[in-house]
Amino acid sequence: MADEKKLVRMLDALGRVSDETGKLTRTFHSPAMQRANALVGGWMREAGLAVREDAVGNLIGRHPGAKAGAKTLLLGSHLDTVRDAGRFDGPLGVLLPIVALEILKKRGVVLPFAVEVLGFAEEEGVRFASAYLGSEGFTGRLKAKTLALRDSDGVSVGELLGKKFTLPKPAHRRGDLLGYVEVHIEQGPVLEAKGLAVGVVSAIAGQSRFRLTWTGKAGHAGTTPMALRRDALAGAAEFALAAEKLARGTAGLVATVGAMTVSPGAANVIPGQVVHTLDVRHASDVVRRKALLALGRSAAAIASKRGLTVRWQRTQDNGAVACSPDLTARLERSVKAVQGRSLKLVSGAGHDGVVVSQLTPVAMLFVRCRDGLSHHPDEHAAPRDLAVALRVMVDFLERLAHSS
Ligand SMILES: [Zn+2]
């Protein structure tokens, strides 16, 4: 099949557009991002799309609808990357729709609705430690306080976007859109374990992040009897195990203590203070909140039993995003037609769809990636899986054309 070979060639070429030699890194408005927009914009033009860049630097390729006043279907993902990234996270969801539209054109399929292929300028949050700048700009949700964020060189978002920049309005009115469909690598091991090339996302998990500070009393590791200790690390460790136990016993819940700082941090001193992160995610906000209440109770019980204090600081809180039942059912129909079987899965990672869902219904197609590995140069999706995803997208667009 020449089509997925073309897609692989495009992914490879875009994967060489980087700000750092020897590894793939593209951040918001960096020189490599500008080269990436030029390269992808050229491919969009070859596919017959009208190309523009919006005020925040999102790349938009528009295919007009055959009917006057037709609604617009959004297809896309992000073109920025993490540091030392793989080639698929983001670019796959921008390049695959371009190739799919070319296939339809070759087959003489006329789409009654308009299509916009979106390459968001920022999703990963690398440069300003704030994610979704691209989709926030596109949907008119960029905040004035975001413009004040500064990168490690002291340059603010506002300075980068220029003096004439004003906070953008949404690119579309809600009623003018059919929805948003994003193709993305799974970044997890579920599809691989099930032996499937693609799956349909039912929801993007909500996530809460906290910083917990446990305070006890530092003391001599040799002279303080066990019964008289107030060991902050032992308390934090007991809590981490309680979080693991709760998540293991609750379907779909994930909870992680991922970073921990122990003070004073010496082999012969009882830990007096521990600061650690907690990340809790679930597809249902009700389940996530219930889990957080339970974790709050168990932290309090552990602290009181051990003579410690524990302080919670919330650092992030995003509600879950349910995918559109209608678009998801249509995607599933196409997945069944191409793959024989469809599997629904929850996305544990956040995506542009989280923000775009505030403007229009969203759906997502996940593509199997080797060992579930992502945010790593060895990130890999097999060409035969890309071929399946491509056929699903073509089938989805064809069926949508027939039914509208
Ligand atoms: Zn991504």
For 141-173, the pLDDT digits (tens) are 999 999 999 999 999 999 999 988 999 999 999
For 40-51, the pLDDT digits (tens) are 999 999 999 999
Q: How far is the CA of 92 from the centre of ligand 1 (A)?
A: 9
Confidence band for 1, pLDDT divided at 50, 70 and 90:
low
Residues of the chain within CATH 3.40.630.10 domain(s) are 2-205+320-403
Q: How far is the CA of 109 from the centre of ligand 1 (A)?
A: 30
Look-up of token digits 């994930």:
254
Question: Which pLDDT does position 196 carry in this prediction?
Answer: 98
For 100-115, the pLDDT digits (tens) are 999 999 999 999 999 9
Q: How far is the CA of 255 from the centre of ligand 1 (A)?
A: 21
Q: How far is the CA of 278 from the centre of ligand 1 (A)?
A: 22
Percentage of residues of the chain with pLDDT beyond 90: 95
- pTM for the structure as a whole: 0.90
Q: How far is the CA of 187 from the centre of ligand 1 (A)?
A: 9
- At the topology level, CATH places domain 206-318 in Alpha-Beta Plaits (3.30.70)
CA pair distance 8, 1, nearest whole angstrom: 11
Question: Which pLDDT does position 284 carry in this prediction?
Answer: 95
Q: How far is the CA of 100 from the centre of ligand 1 (A)?
A: 20
Q: How far is the CA of 183 from the centre of ligand 1 (A)?
A: 10
Query: For residue 404, which of 64, 70, 69 has the smallest C-alpha distance?
Result: 70
Look-up of token digits 């003579």:
307
Q: How far is the CA of 269 from the centre of ligand 1 (A)?
A: 43
Q: How far is the CA of 93 from the centre of ligand 1 (A)?
A: 9
Q: How far is the CA of 61 from the centre of ligand 1 (A)?
A: 19
Can you say whether the dihedral through the CA atoms of 288, 290, 294, 299 is positive or negative?
A: positive
Confidence band for 68, pLDDT divided at 50, 70 and 90:
confident
Reduced to 3 states (helix: H, G, I; strand: E, B; else coil), residue 175 is: helix
Question: What's domain 2-205+320-403's superfamily in CATH?
Answer: Zn peptidases (3.40.630.10)
On whether the CB atoms of residues 92 and 185 are closer than 8 A, the answer is: yes
Q: How far is the CA of 398 from the centre of ligand 1 (A)?
A: 26
